[in-house]
Copies of this chain bind each other. A is one copy, B any other.
Amino acid sequence: MTPIRTAILGFGKIAADQHVPAITANPRFDLVASSSRSGQGVGQTFTDWRKLIREVDGLEAVAITTPPGPRYEIARECVLAGLHCLLEKPPTATLTEIADLACLAEAQRVSLFATWHAQHHRTVDAAARALAGKRIARLDIRWHEDVDKWHPGQDWIWQPGGFGVFDPGINAFSILTRIFPGSLFVRSAELHVPHGAQTPIAADIAFSSPQADGPLRCSLDWRRTEGEEWTIAVDTSDGTRVRLENGGARLAIDGQASNDEGPGEYPDIYRTFLDLIDARDSSIDVAPLRLVADCLLLGTRREADPIKR
């Protein structure tokens, strides 16, 4: 079987760190080209993604790893060119854009895959199985990290559409919507927005659910400089305690700990992409992005200290 000729559009840190190793390790893919404004990349390199999709012979699939802002426009052209598309998270800047791409991909019979890397831990599957069919007594999410460590000097995160602390927080939402055994709604959201910024540096969210008997809370905070944690703790009403740590890579059920022993997030993403391409199917989970939008629809804004520059 001839490998699927694949390109990366928007070659940057996440492409180099995660996509390139995952693609090159999979014999079903052939990584033939990439584009980035700087011109750096792998395979045949382009500074113009339009030129790439026009000129690379036999191209079949693309991974779009730009920031979310321009992703709709790129993905639209790729879908119309008959290319299977993998989108980094969050798939687009707005909900209307991803809904439109879903329709276009179906009409064009290409595979569209809105990826959520944090869902691709085997431990997340195991947590979902442990919670299936249960009622929930308590949910406590803490997604606390040091923004200066992970986004040093980056200004786009504070701009309109930059997501702020929802940029990491949407990873927690993507795990939560995968493991929660029922419907889950934002009931309130306190958004702590630094003076002069457009996006929150922290958010305190309360959820509600017909399947819950107790409080469902989520704290996202980019101001934690020591003891960072990415933890989702769920107690069921019949006494099971499920705790995902390290962003989902470690699971404890009633104190019994295990680590993710799957292929890893990005290798599993590309395995899934192959399944979708083989079936001419798509996977477009909008639930995590929709929860962010719901936080903004219901949010209360509080002014926080200005960003230190």
Does A213 count as interface, using CB distance less than 8 angstroms?
no
Q: How far, in whole Å, are A160 and B300 apart by their CA atoms in the complex?
A: 6
> Are A198 and B301 CB-contacts (below 8 A) given A94-B186, A96-B290?
yes
Task: Please state if B296 and A95 are interface contacts (CB–CB under 8 Å).
Answer: no
* Cα of A292 to Cα of B287 in the assembled complex, Å: 17
The docked-state distance in angstroms from the alpha carbon of A183 to that of B188 is 31
Asked whether A299 lies within 8 Å of B94 as measured between CB atoms, the reply is no
- Additional A-B contacts beyond A94-B298, A97-B185, A198-B299 (18; CB < 8 A): A72-B185, A94-B294, A94-B297, A95-B95, A95-B293, A95-B294, A96-B183, A96-B185, A96-B287, A96-B294, A100-B185, A160-B299, A161-B297, A198-B300, A198-B301, A290-B293, A293-B293, A296-B297
Chain B positions within 8 Å of A301 at CB level: 198, 301
A14 proximity list for chain B (CB < 8 A): none
Give 1 or 0 for each of A265-303: 1 = CB within 8 Å of chain B CB: 000000000000000000000010011111011111100
A171-200: which have CB < 8 Å to B?
183-186, 188-189, 198
Give 14 CB contacts A-B under 8 Å.
A94-B185, A94-B294, A94-B297, A94-B298, A95-B293, A96-B184, A96-B287, A96-B290, A96-B294, A97-B185, A99-B290, A160-B299, A160-B300, A198-B300
Interface residue? A58 (CB, 8 A): no
Tell whether, in the assembled complex, residue B297 and residue A93 are in contact, meaning their CB atoms are under 8 Å apart. yes
**A255 CB–B CB distance under 8 Å:** no
B293:A160 contact, CB within 8 angstroms? no
Rounded to whole angstroms, the CA-CA distance of A100 and B210 in the bound complex is 11
Cβ contacts under 8 Å, A198 to chain B: 299-301
CB distance from A83 to the nearest CB of B (A): 17
Interface status of A19 (Cβ within 8 A of chain B): no
- Give Cα A21–Cα B216 distance, bound, in whole angstroms: 42
Given A100-B183, A186-B94: A296 touches B298 (CB 8 Å cut-off)? no
Q: Whose C-beta in chain B lies nearest to the C-beta of A160?
A: B300
- Across the interface, do A298 and B161 meet the contact criterion of CB distance under 8 Å? yes
Across the two chains, which residue of chain B brings its CB closest to A161?
A: B298
List, in ascending order, chain B residues with CB within 8 A of A296's CB: 293, 296-297
Closest B-chain residue to A209, C-beta based? Answer: B100
Residues of chain B lying within 8 A (CB to CB) of residue A183: 96, 100
- Interface residue? A122 (CB, 8 A): no
CB-contacts of A66-95 with B (<8 A): 72, 76, 93-95
